[in-house]
A and B are shown apart, each in its own frame.
Chain A
Amino acid sequence: MNDTLNITKGINALKEQIDAPTAAFFSSCVHCGLCAEACLFYTETNDPKYTPINKVEPLKRVWESEYTLFGRLKKALGLAKPVTDELLAEWEPLIYDGCTLCGRCSMVCPVGNDISTMIRKVREGMVASDHVPEGLVGASTRAVKIGSPMGIRLKALQAQIKHIERDTGLKIPIDVEGADYMALLSSMEIINFPEYIESLAKIFKQANVSWTLSSEAFEATNSGIQIGSSDIARELVQRIVDGAEKLKVKYVISPECGHAFTAIRWDGPNLIGKSYSFKVVHILELLDELQQSGRLKTQGMEDKKLTFHDPCQIVRKGGVEAQPRRLLSQVASQFVEMSDPGKMNWCCGGGGGVSANERADDVRLKAFNRKKSQLEEINVEVLVTACANCRLILEEGLEENNMDMPVVGLSELISEHLLEENAVEGERDE
C-alpha cells in the first residue's frame, strides 16, 4: 500500500460522513451540558472532557467550515478553527477510550441530538487519519486476516462443537444448505461461553427449529464497526451475507452480542448498499417468538433474586426491550429491574470497542462504578444479560469490586429451564 493514512484523508472522511441529521444536530446544540449527565464516563470521573458533545468537536469543525456559509466565510478569512493532526490525536482517547457508543446521550439531549451516531462518524475520520488505539487495530487485523478478532479459527469452533456434542448427545449442524436459520456466534461465546452453543442446540431441538452454523461465516462480531471503518466493516459483513446466501437460509440469528446485532441487523445492508435476501433476528427475538407461539416450553422457576442488564446495542440501539422481560417472566420468580432500566440502562463500560482497547482499562473500571452502584441498590444474587462482551466486562468488574455474583446469559437461563419431555438429565450440573 502506497496510500498512507493522514490528516487530509481524515478530514475528507469526516466530510463524507456529514449528512442532514448531523447538520441539524450541530445547529441545535445550545451547550446545556445535559449529555454529560447521561454519560457514565463523565458521571464516574467528573471530568468535563468526557461530555459527549465535546467528543464530536472535530466533526463540528469540519461541518462548520465546509457546510455552512458563515463557516466557509470564516475559513476564507482564516478565522475558522482548523482540524489538525494534533487535534485528532488529542481527541483519540475521548473517541475510543471514553465512549462505548452506548447512545444514552442521544436519549436525553433536549434538542434531540443523536450524539452517539456522530461519535461513530468521528471514528471514520480517526481511522482515515490513523488515530486508532492499538488494541482495536489488532482486533481488526485478526478479524480480517484470521476471521475473528480474537484469532479463533474454524478448527477451534469445531473442537468446541465436538466437545458439546459429546457432552449433550445433540447434533450441532454445520453448513446445512436450506436450513431456516443460520446462527452466528461471537468469538467470546466460542472461547469463554460455549454454553451458548449448547443452549441453542437444546432449545432448537425442543422447538424443532431447522438451523445451521456456517463454516465460512460463523463469526458475528465486526471489528470494523468498533474501530469505525466502513471499509473494514463492509468486508466482514460481506462474509456473513455470502455465507447465508450460499446456504440459502431464510434467517440469520444474531447472537448474544451487542455490536454484532447493530453490525449485521442495521448497518450491514447499508454497508453493502442493498437489502438482504434473508432476515436478521436477534436470538432474544427468536426465543420470544418461539415461546409466544408455544414452541418453546419451560418448566420451573429460578427463585433467586435476579436482574437483567440490557446491552446497549440490543435495547437502546436495537429495539429489543420487551422480549427479554417476557422471557424472564417465564423462568424467574424474583426478577427485579435496576434503576433506569430498558432503553435508559447504563452501559457496562466495555462496549463500542473499549473492551478491546487495553489503554482504556483504567477509565473503564472507573466507569463500572455506575453499574456497581446500580446493582448495590437492588441487592440481587444473579445478574442476567444477553451480550457476551457485557458478560465478560461485568464479571471482571464484579471481581474487581469483590462482588460475588454469577453473570448468566439469558439464552442459557432459558435452556436450563426447558421442559424436559423425558426428564432424563438433572436440573443442573453444578
Chain B
Amino acid sequence: MNKKTLFESLQQQGITRRGFMKYCTALTSLMALPPSMIPMVANALETAKRPSVIWLSFQECTGCAESLLRSHSPTVEGLIFDHISLDYQHTLQVAAGDAAEHAREQAMKEHHGKYLVVVDGSIPLADPGYSTIAGISNLDMLNETIEGAAAVVAVGTCSAFGGLPQAAPNPTGAVSVSSLVKDKPVINVPGCPPIPTVITGVLAHYLTFGSIPELDNLGRPKVFYGQSIHDRCYRRPFYDKGLFAETFDDEGAKKGWCLYRLGCKGPMTYNACATLKWNQQTSWPVESGHGCLGCSEPNFWDAGSFYKALSIPDGDYAKAAGYAVAAGVAVGAAAGFANQKNKANAVSQHTKVTVDDFGENKDK
C-alpha cells in the first residue's frame, strides 16, 4: 500500500509548491477554517499519511454517495479522494461477491485501529432481513467493521439520525449509527443529502490533522453545523423587517422576501447551505425560492408539513379543538345547571329575617 505523504503524492503528479499552496488555500476554505490557518494546513499536509476508508451502505438511496461523487470534473474534493484509499464501497468497487468482502476484511486487518468507516443509511433492528450484504445483516457488519476503526463518519440523515427509514411508522425499526456505536467517535454529517464539500471537509480534517473536528451536541462538526440556515441566510434582513412572501408567486416571492410563512425551516436547521451552496456554488434552496426543509435535523420527515410555518403546531389541532368545544359546552352546561339547582336550593331554604331575630345568638 502507498505510504507516501500527501505532499509527496502531489509532487509526483508534477504539482509545484505554488500549486500545493493553492490547494491548501482551497482546502482550508473547504474545512471552513479562516485563511490564517493556511500555513498550518500546509504544514500538516506535508506529513499527512494516506488513510484507509471503508464505506458501508445500509438502508439508503445512494443519494449521499451520488452527491459526493457526481461532480462533473475533478475538484478539490476529487483530489482528496484521489489521496484516500477507498478500500470498500460496494456501489463503486470493481470487485464483487467474496472478493469484495475480502477487500474489506483485508483493509480492516491491515489498518487495524487506523481506518475510517463511512456509513450511509440506517440500520434495521426489527428484522435483520430487511437489509443484508453478502448474507450479513447490517447490524453485524457494522459491529464487525467498527471494531478496529479509528472513527465512524455517519454520512446523510439516515445514518446520522435514522432519516426516512425511521420516519413514522418506521416499519424496519431503523436506527442511526450513533444509537448503536457507543465506544468509537461518531461524526454525524447529516443532510438529505449532505453538501458534498461538507463530507470532504470532514474527511480533509481527519486527513490533515489526524483528529476529528469539534462536534455539537448532535455529533455534527461545528464548523459546518454551528449556525442555523436562518442566521446565515441572505434573506434574513427581510425577516427582521417583517417582509414575507405569502405564496410562491406573489410580489414578495419575486422580490426575494423571507420564506418563513411558506414553511421555511431555516430557523431550526443547522447546516452550511447558505455559505457553501450547492452545484459548484451555483445556488441553494432559499436562493432558488424554496424554503429550507430542515433535512439535516433529526425527525425532519415527521416534523409536519414542509409548507407550514414553524410556529404552527403540527398535530390535528382542529380535531382537538372540536372535541374540546363539545366537551366544554357539555361540562359547562352541566356545571351551570348544577349551579342553578344549588342556587334554587338556597332560595328555597331562605328563612325570612325579622327584626326580632337580631341579637339572639349574642344572648346565648
Identify the A interface with B (CB < 8 A).
Answer: 1, 3-6, 9, 12-13, 15-16, 18, 66-67, 69, 127-128, 130, 132, 137, 140-141, 144-145, 229, 231-232
Contacts and interface: CB of A to CB of B under 8 A. Distances in A.
Given A12-B349, A12-B350, A130-B362, A66 B342 contact: yes
Nearest to B349: A12
Nearest to B356: A1
B360 A16 contact: no
Contacts of A4: 357, 360-361
B335 interface: yes
Nearest to A134: B359
Contacts of B346: 12-13, 15-16
Interface string B323-364: 000000001000100010011001101111111111111100
Given A13-B350, A15-B342, A232-B355, 15 more contacts: A1-B356, A4-B357, A13-B346, A15-B346, A16-B343, A16-B346, A67-B339, A130-B361, A132-B358, A137-B358, A141-B355, A144-B355, A229-B353, A231-B353, A232-B353
B355 A145 contact: yes
Contacts of B356: 1
A133 to B, nearest CB: 10
Contacts of B350: 12-13, 16
A67 B361 contact: no
A233 B359 CA distance: 19
A231 B351 CA distance: 9
Contact of B353 (A18, A67, A127, A141): A127
A9 B360 contact: no
Given A69-B331, A231-B352, A15 B343 contact: yes
A140 B357 CA distance: 12
Contacts of B353: 5, 127-128, 229, 231-232
Interface of B: 331, 335, 339, 342-343, 346-347, 349-362
B339 A5 contact: no
B355 A140 contact: yes
7 contacts: A1-B357, A3-B351, A4-B361, A5-B357, A9-B351, A137-B359, A140-B358
Contacts of A140: 355, 358
A156 B270 CA distance: 95
A356 to B, nearest CB: 14
Contacts of B360: 1, 4-5, 130
Given A15-B346, A16-B343, A130 B358 contact: yes
- B350, B351, B358, B359 — most chain A CB neighbours (10 Å): B358
A173 to B, nearest CB: 32
Most buried by A among B346, B351, B352, B355: B355
A18 B361 contact: no
Nearest to B346: A15
A9 B353 CA distance: 10
Given A5-B361, A16-B347, A66 B355 contact: no
B350 to A, nearest CB: 6
A18 B343 contact: yes
Contacts of B331: 69
A67 B344 CA distance: 12
Contacts of B349: 12
A220 B330 CA distance: 49
Nearest to A9: B351
Nearest to A127: B353
Which 9 A/B pairs are nearest by Cβ-Cβ distance? A15-B346, A141-B355, A4-B360, A231-B353, A137-B358, A16-B346, A67-B339, A69-B335, A231-B352
Contacts of B359: 130, 137
A232 B331 CA distance: 39
A232 B354 contact: yes
A231 B360 CA distance: 18
A231 B358 CA distance: 13
A340 to B, nearest CB: 37
Contacts of A9: 351
A5 B364 CA distance: 12
Contacts of A127: 353
A15 to B, nearest CB: 4
A386 B70 CA distance: 98
Nearest to A145: B355
A130 B359 CA distance: 7
Nearest to B332: A69
A1 B363 CA distance: 14
Contacts of B358: 5, 130, 132, 137, 140-141
Contacts of A141: 355, 358
Most buried by A among B342, B343, B353: B353
Contacts of B355: 137, 140-141, 144-145, 232
A128 B361 CA distance: 11
Contacts of B339: 66-67
Nearest to B352: A231
A229 B357 CA distance: 12
A231 to B, nearest CB: 5
